[in-house]
Amino acid sequence: MKTPLRTLVEPPKTGEAVEVSTGLLWARIPMPGPLEHVNVYLFDEGDSWTVIDTGIDTSRTRAVWHDLMQGPMGGKPVSRVIATHHHLDHIGLAGWFMAAHGATLVTTRTAYLMARMLKLDIQDTPTPEMLRFWRSSGMDAEVYAERETARPFNTADAVADIPLGYTRIREGDEIEIGGRRWDVRCGNGHAPEHATFWSHDGKTVIGGDQLLASISPNIGVHPTEPEADPLGEWLESCERFKGFATDDQLVLTGHKRIFTGLPTRLKQLTENHHTALARLLDFLTTPRTACDCFSVLFKREIKGDTYGLAMVEAMAHCNHLFAQGLVSRTVREDGAYLWQSTG
């Protein structure tokens, strides 16, 4: 019998830290949007700290880190930042730690290159490729009209400059963090080459956004790679991780609560997506755009800040069915893809 999922330890308040185990602190860095925070983890290295993920770069988040370093971290310096993946809420302050505090950056090659590329990619108006992608998704006409001339959010808006030079980690590596040895295992789908860390003593997993307790990570297709199948990559990662998961491992997540019961959670995550794909395949007996599929995929009204996230995830589900040969794709006069079941 599988151990049920259990969330453990009351989350820390902003500017405070909770001791998860000896030499390991859990803190939260605020961020805008529905998630409201990103979890960061602080490992005591004796005369310094290793920080896992950082939050975005704003004056507020720098102030929160200042309070943490002067308070729970005891004034000791941050000597190393480990970024699980390239998303701005996880690597946004890495460059600040490097430039202002002399820390080194450890991450996967893909995460480092993606973060630096996105930092340099500043657009004042949507690019033709972005507009074409939005049209192909079947974006609502009012939403499209609003975004067509508005300045898009740029990663550079919330990521500090990332200096040249980092230490690469990859699948199968071993790394020492906080006096313990960890295996590096990389997942894909939410972010390419997303690093997770599995302690040799079998007690702890640093899961980032790859392994979350109460929500599924956003798995989206984007204009940078519109033909990608991130959902297929993510499902493969979950199946591979099942071979290493145990009921007792404490999973340190990128958002929400930390938890135990990882085998149960991996089963839930994969089954939820397979069920959604089955619903979608049935829904596509009539040709639809990706944005037409919100109700069947998410079972709620999608609007406001969540629209873009829902759109890219709907495209990911359609692309996955297309990659499997289960749906066909035609182009409507307005540029929208129409997906239809082939069965």
Query: What are the pLDDT digits (tens) for 210-264?
Result: 999 988 999 999 999 999 999 999 999 999 999 999 999 999 999 999 999 999 9
Retrieve residue 127's tokens: 């690019």
pLDDT of residue 3: 56
Average pLDDT in the chain: 95
Residue 182 pLDDT > 50:
yes
36: domain range? 6-120+127-341
pLDDT tens digits, residue range 41-85?
999 999 999 999 999 999 999 999 999 999 999 999 999 999 999
- pLDDT at site 5: 57
Determine, yes or no, domain membership for 84.
yes
- Note whether 93 and 55 are within 8 A (CB): yes
pLDDT higher than 50, residue 268 = yes
Q: Is residue 36 part of a domain?
A: yes
Residue 141 lies in a domain: yes
Q: Three-state SS for 62?
A: helix
3-state helix, strand, coil in the chain (%, to 5): 35, 25, 40
Under the banding of pLDDT at 50, 70 and 90, the label for residue 1 is very low
In whole angstroms, how large is the CA radius of gyration of the chain?
20
pTM: 0.95
Question: CA–CA separation, 139 vs 291, rounded Å?
Answer: 6
Contact 161, 7 (CB under 8 A): no
For residue 104, is pLDDT > 70?
Answer: yes
Strands (E), the chain: 6-8, 17-21, 24-30, 37-44, 49-52, 78-82, 104-108, 167-169, 174-177, 180-187, 194-199, 204-208, 250-253, 258-260, 327-331, 337-341
User: What is the number of domains present in the chain?
Assistant: 1
CATH code of residue 94: 3.60.15.10
Task: Using pLDDT thresholds of 50, 70 and 90, give the confidence band for residue 303.
Answer: confident
State the average pLDDT over residues 172-195.
98
* 1 in any annotated domain: no
> What is the C-alpha separation between 130 and 11, in angstroms, rounded?
38
The confidence score (pLDDT) of residue 7 equals 62
pLDDT tens for 113-170 read 999 999 999 999 999 999 999 999 999 999 999 999 999 999 999 999 999 999 999 9
Please say whether the beta carbons of 79 and 42 come within 8 A: no
34 pLDDT band (50/70/90 cuts)?
confident
Residue 2, pLDDT > 60, answer: no
Give a yes or no: residue 321 inside a domain. yes
- For 55, phi then psi, to 5°, come to 90, 175
Of 321 and 35, the one with more pLDDT: 321
Across residues 299-325, what is the average pLDDT? 94
